[in-house]
Amino acid sequence: MLYFTRWRALGIILTALVVCLCAVPNFFPEAQVKTWPAWAQRRLVLGLDLQGGSYLLLEVDSNYVKKEKLDQIRDDVRKVLREAKIGYTGLVVRNDAVEVRISKEGDQATALSKLRELSQPLGGLLGSSGQRSLEVEDAGGGLIRLKVPQAAVTERIRQTIEQSIQIVERRVNELGTVEPVIQRQGTDRILVQVPGLQDPTRLKELLGKTAKMEFRMVDSSVSPDQAQQGRLPPDSELLMSASPPPVPYVVKKQVLVSGGELSDAQPGFDQRTGEAIVSFKFNTSGARKFAQATAENVGQPFAIVLDNKVISAPVIREPITGGQGQISGSFTVQSANDLAILMRAGALPAPLTVIEERTVGPGLGQDSIEKGELAAYVGSILVIVFMLITYRLFGVFANIAVAINVAMIFGLLSLLNATLTLPGIAGIVLTVGIAVDSNVLIYERIREELRGGRNAISAIDAGFKRALATILDSNITTFIAAAVLFYIGTGPVRGFAVTLGIGIITTVFTAFTLTRLIVAGWVRWKRPQTVPI
Amino acid sequence: MTHTVLIGLGILIAVLTVVAALGLLPALRIVPDDTHFDFTRFRRISFPISALLSILAITLFFTHGLNFGIDFKGGTLLEVQAKSGTADIAAMRTTLNGLGLGEVQLQQFGGPAEVLIRVAEQPGGDKAQQDAVTKVRGALGESVDYRRVEVVGPRVSGELLAYGMIGLMFAIMGILIYLWFRFEWQFALGAMIANVHDIVLTIGFMSITQVDFDLTSIAALLTILGYSLNDTVVIYDRIREMLRRYKKMPMPQLLNESINSTLSRSIITHVTVTLALLALLLFGGQAIHSFTAVMMFGVVLVGTYTSIFIAAPILIYLGVHTTRGGDAAQDAPAKKPDTAAAKK
């Protein structure tokens, strides 16, 4: 137990040294570290509870996704049956399925085979699950039912989340924040972390809008009043204005140009009125469509519709061929800016809801760091003094081992780019307790072996041998608790689990190697007859 | 101020280190070398007391309940700091209770300027919670700094509670399976009883003190569990060793010897952990105050007691049932060759 080959000793010291050195970048200002080579840039990240910022958990509306999917299938069915010239009645979405009744019995087989073509294998070429995107079944009596299997819905939600993340990223980046984190969480959630953001109200407003933008014609054949009394043409719908008070408009359902064909949008001011406006630009195909539509409808009003609300309904004075235009409609500078952001970033495929929000102001974060540091210092000092009083020379060994241990924890945390949270600091303080315990176990065992009548070297040897087994057992149990915490925890709790887990690893390493090495070195040097413990 | 104190303490440590290294300090023995305290005899007192306390804790849990924080209950929590330096809680209460958000709780938190505001979960799903926080922010306006705002929707809170409970159960299971492999099932069972005992008593403590029960409390519970087990495992390790060495020693005596020989370590370790926790409790700030208070109770009071007075002596009863009935003390030696063989 007390014998180390030269190489082994060197290996242990080098490992500890390298791990400790990983903590070095934390002691330099961030700007300076940025100029270092990439491998040297790993450092601790402060959690939002320490540096301040906003944490938002968004969830995609899975019912909306499902409904959209079913509506799309219904439209597809209509198209397929029309093309095949098959008569049908009662095409509806019912109980999470699309149902259609084929009029003539002879058409049934053709209809079934045609509709089955809509179904595709899930997961592309690699998807060998045998799952298909659609289950087409013959419900008897000419009724055909098209069901979307759960796997297909999940797949659709996955795609929706993926698209949404990109849009969310663009919108968040527009706020000019530093290093926001946008991640998928689970199957249907998006995690947004914005360091330094104190008031997430505006962010929530930006993310809470689907921002589905459409350019549509206003239906002038009926007045809004007539429409409200029920005389609404079938290809039009009644929409309200976005700005209060709500004013009704009758708008055609057909979309001239959609927001997806915008290439740019910028907030600005109208030259004449000084009013806040948003000017926009279409891409080539959007510009062509817009030019054609405006040329056909000179003198008519058209509506700019955002999330089914009319932002503005100007009259087309002349064909707009340049693919550029501007929206004015009682904007404030802020709302014009926000609309421009939304137009640039594009529409979300489905609405997102904020289901969890945690914001920490910079003052509290700074307080927490200071208090955490103070507690860590005081705790360490108390423990160090206590160890010195209890174990004297071996207390010095223990303190050296624990100090290296803590340095290694910081090194490993930096290497992993781990996030340090307030509970994380608590975890480190507790790890100091565990690390001290490993030393206590060893020294108490040595005392016992001495009492049992062994000579100095033999007692130290036996003390280490017996104590290390116990240290391993007791630390593995704590490690299991830390691992579970890591899996179930979120945010701060996870930070606690990470520091506790890493602390246990370094504690076991230190107990098995460094503490032994220090004591072995002392034994070689002093050749003690008695142990001052 | 704190820096000079720290520097002073640093110098003290340096001096102490030198003194200690030169062997000038007297040897400190917290537990005398020759301690033979009859711990297992106390099982006749400790078991009924623990049973009683556990029942009390469970009763408290059902009558008093836990003070669920917003993590598990949903709702909104704001920590604000009045810009004027002193918060007028009465005025704020009137304003906020007039918003139609149900009862809004206000509480002084730390200094005179800091106030903790709790708004119960609003009916109407996730959107309603967002509206509530907007209203509160609107009502307080710019008169305060928002140090912390947390909004947890109904679905998330349900999940967090479920995950917390599942996590606690998985942790216990994982630890038990490990102990079962490393020791024998009696030990695993003994540890589990000790574990459940710890958690039940700690929950009772949380119920009496009505500290916020949130995600950090789950973290505290798991840490208590880890520490208590750590302690139990150290004693069990020794018991196993003694079982191999002294095949004829009666079980209560063997347990006593094991507890006594690890007693010094138990106490020294607990003093260090207590010192670390004390520092966190006094200087760690409000944010982790309840966390450390719970830990202090669980680790220092319950954990130590459990390992010595519950986890170890319970083996007397658990060992009996594996072989044949009769007096535990007489049965123990007969069982030992059996266990030794099982280990081979």
For residue B70, CA distances in Å to B60, B153, B158, B209, B311 come to 21, 9, 10, 17, 35
Q: What distance in Å separates residue A507's CA from the closest CA in chain B? A: 14
CA angle A220, A222, A228 (to 5 degrees): 130
Residues of chain B positioned with their CB less than 8 A from the CB of A385: 12-13, 16
Interface probe with B: pick from A189, A353, A473, A486, most Cβ of B within 10 Å? A473
* Size (chain B), residues: 344
Q: Would you state the structure tokens that stand for residue B230, as one six-digit string?
A: 């750590």
CB contact under 8 A, A378 and B279: yes
Q: Would you state the structure tokens that stand for residue A76, as one six-digit string?
A: 């597809």
Q: Determine the Cα–Cα distance for residues A149 and B266; give it in Å rounded to an integer.
A: 59
Q: What is the pTM of this model?
A: 0.78
* pLDDT the model gives residue A189: 92
Give chain A's end-to-end CA distance (angstroms, integer).
18
* pLDDT the model gives residue B320: 38
Domain pair B36-66+158-318 / B75-152, same fold: no
Residue A197, phi-psi category: left (phi > 0), alpha (psi -120 to 50), beta (remainder):
beta
Residues of chain B positioned with their CB less than 8 A from the CB of A490: 160, 215
**Range name among A53-67, A270-284, B21-35, B285-299 with the lowest pLDDT average:** B21-35
- Please report, for chain A, the start and end positions of each structural domain, with discontinuous segments joined by +: 6-51+362-526, 55-59+160-358, 62-155
Of B237, B264, B275, the CB nearest to A382: B275
B75-152, what's its fold? Alpha-Beta Plaits (3.30.70)
Q: What distance in Å separates residue B325's CA from the closest CA in chain A? A: 31
Query: Could you write out the three-class secondary structure of B268-308?
Result: HHHHHHHHHHHHHHHHCCHHHHHHHHHHHHHHHHHHHHHHH
For residue B329, pLDDT over 90 is answered with no
The 3-state DSSP composition of chain A as helix, strand, coil percent (nearest 5) reads 55, 20, 25
Query: What residues form DSSP beta bridges with A88?
Result: A102
For residue B342, pLDDT over 60 is answered with no
pLDDT band, residue B1 (cuts 50/70/90): low
Partner B contacted by A522 (CB < 8 A): no
- For the sheet with A97-102, list strands across it: A88-94, A97-102, A143-147, A135-140
B36-66+158-318, what's its fold? Multidrug efflux transporter AcrB transmembrane fold (1.20.1640)
Superfamily of domain A6-51+362-526: Multidrug efflux transporter AcrB transmembrane domain (1.20.1640.10)
Q: A252-276 as b/e, with b when 16 or more CB fall inside 10 Å?
A: beeebbbbebbeebebeeeeeeeeb
CB contact under 8 A, A441 and B265: yes
Query: Is the model more confident about B2 or about A394?
Result: A394
* Nearest in space to A188 (alpha carbons), one of A28, A39, A349: A349
CB A442 within 8 A of CB A467: yes
The residues, ordered by sequence, that sit 6+ positions from A396 with a Cβ below 8 Å of its Cβ are: A388, B17, B20, B21
Mean pLDDT for all residues in chain B:
83
Helix axes B215-245 and A422-451, enclosed angle (nearest 10)? 10
Q: What distance in Å separates residue B326's CA from the closest CA in chain A? A: 32
Whether the complex's predicted ipTM surpasses the cut of 0.85: no
DSSP annotation string for A323-380: SEEEEEEEE-HHHHHHHHHHHHH---SS-EEEEEEEEE-HHHHHHHHHHHHHHHHHHH
Q: Determine the Cα–Cα distance for residues A168 and A58; give it in Å rounded to an integer.
A: 10
DSSP category for residue B309: I
Total beta-carbon pairs less than 8 A apart between chain A and chain B:
257
Name the burial class of residue A363, with classes exposed (0-12), middle (13-18) and buried (19+) by CB atoms within 10 angstroms of its CB. Answer: middle
Q: A504-532 as b/e, with b when 16 or more CB fall inside 10 Å?
A: bbbbbbbbbbbbbbbbbebbeeeeeeebb
* pLDDT the model gives residue A190: 93
Domain pair A6-51+362-526 / A55-59+160-358, same fold: no
The residues, ordered by sequence, that sit 6+ positions from A313 with a Cβ below 8 Å of its Cβ are: A218, A249, A301, A302, A303, A304
Residues of chain B positioned with their CB less than 8 A from the CB of A47: none
Residues of chain B positioned with their CB less than 8 A from the CB of A356: 151-153, 156
Most confident segment among A387-396, B11-20, B21-30:
A387-396
* pLDDT the model gives residue B178: 87
Q: Determine the Cα–Cα distance for residues A344 and A321; give it in Å rounded to an integer.
A: 21
Of A433, A470, A487, the CB nearest to B237: A470
Share of chain B above pLDDT 70, in %: 92
CB contact under 8 A, B234 and A493: no
- Please report, for chain B, the start and end positions of each structural domain, with discontinuous segments joined by +: 36-66+158-318, 75-152
Q: What distance in Å separates residue A263's CA from the closest CA in chain B? A: 32
Helix axes B251-283 and B328-343, enclosed angle (nearest 10)? 80
CATH class of the domain comprising A62-155 = alpha beta
* pLDDT the model gives residue A440: 93
CA angle A224, A228, A232 (to 5 degrees): 80
A222: helix, strand or coil: coil
Is the backbone peptide bond immediately before A245 cis, with ω within 30 degrees of 0? yes
Q: Please tell me which residue of chain B has the smallest CA distance to A429.
A: B276
Q: What are phi and psi of B327, to 5 degrees?
A: -70, 135
Instruction: Tell which A residues from 396 to 435 touch B, by Cβ distance under 8 Å.
Output: 396, 399, 422-423, 425-426, 429-430, 432-434
The residues, ordered by sequence, that sit 6+ positions from B286 with a Cβ below 8 Å of its Cβ are: B109, B110, B114
CB contact under 8 A, B269 and A381: no
CATH class of the domain comprising A55-59+160-358 = alpha beta
For residue B144, pLDDT over 50 is answered with yes
Per residue of chain A (533 residues), give pLDDT as tens.
Answer: 678 888 889 999 999 999 998 888 888 887 888 888 877 788 888 888 888 899 999 999 888 888 888 888 888 888 888 888 888 888 888 888 888 888 887 788 888 888 888 887 776 555 555 677 788 888 777 888 888 888 888 888 888 999 999 999 988 888 877 788 899 988 889 999 998 888 888 888 888 888 888 899 998 888 888 888 877 888 888 898 887 788 889 998 888 888 888 888 889 888 888 888 899 999 988 899 889 888 888 888 989 998 888 988 888 888 888 888 888 877 888 888 888 888 888 888 888 999 999 999 888 888 888 888 888 888 888 888 889 888 888 999 999 999 999 999 999 999 988 888 888 887 887 788 888 999 999 999 999 999 888 999 999 999 999 999 899 988 888 888 888 888 877 766 788 888 989 999 999 999 999 999 999 999 988 888 888 87
Residues of chain B positioned with their CB less than 8 A from the CB of A50: none
Half-sphere exposure of B224 (CA within 13 A, CB side): 33
